[in-house]
């Protein structure tokens, strides 16, 4: 049963992976909540790029574990530092550009930025996981 005035949408209109590929720009706020003049461009956590990176890293770890098991080696224990580094890399790959930082954007510099600044790491994570940043009407 159709409701009156109900708008139908295409399944393509519900593609959050595609929407998440379009960069969203936000201003980095300092600890007091003031703007810094530094603007970061991020893609969404649901983007294909982010999902492919995550899957490749997890698959790589599983392959290592399977080889160790096949060779009857003791399992390689992952340290908490390894898990933290995975998280930092997982968030840093979402940064695809910036303004207001004199150092040029590169994936390596994005990783360095997220490694040395937990506030930026947290703000990138929140911005990239807020799906409305990528689905607002254009």
> Which conformational region is residue 3 in: left (phi greater than 0), alpha (psi within -120 to 50 degrees), or beta?
beta
| Closest residue by Cα to residue 91 from 42, 29, 23, 20 | 42
Closest CA to 94 of 51, 59, 57, 137: 51
Could you read off the pLDDT of 45-85 as tens digits, one per residue? 999 999 999 999 999 988 988 888 888 777 667 789 999 99
- In the chain, DSSP finds a helix count (H) and a strand count (E) of 6, 3
User: Which tens digits make up the pLDDT trace of 3-43?
Assistant: 667 888 899 888 899 999 999 999 999 999 999 999 999 99
| Distance from C-alpha of 118 to C-alpha of 129, rounded to nearest angstrom | 16
Which structure tokens are listed for 81? 């530092």
């Amino acid at each position: 049963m159709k409701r009156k005035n109900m708008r139908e949408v295409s399944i393509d209109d519900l593609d959050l992976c595609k929407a998440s590929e379009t960069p969203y720009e936000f201003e980095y706020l300092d600890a007091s909540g003031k703007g810094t003049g530094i603007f970061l461009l991020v893609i969404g956590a649901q983007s294909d790029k982010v999902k492919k990176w995550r899957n490749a890293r997890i698959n790589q770890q599983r392959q290592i574990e399977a080889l160790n098991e096949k060779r009857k080696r003791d399992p390689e224990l992952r340290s908490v530092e390894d898990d933290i580094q995975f998280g930092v890399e997982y968030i840093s790959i979402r940064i695809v550009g910036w303004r207001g930082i004199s150092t040029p954007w590169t994936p390596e510099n994005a990783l360095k930025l997220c490694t040395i600044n937990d506030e930026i790491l947290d703000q990138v994570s929140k911005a990239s996981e807020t799906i409305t940043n990528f689905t607002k009407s254009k």
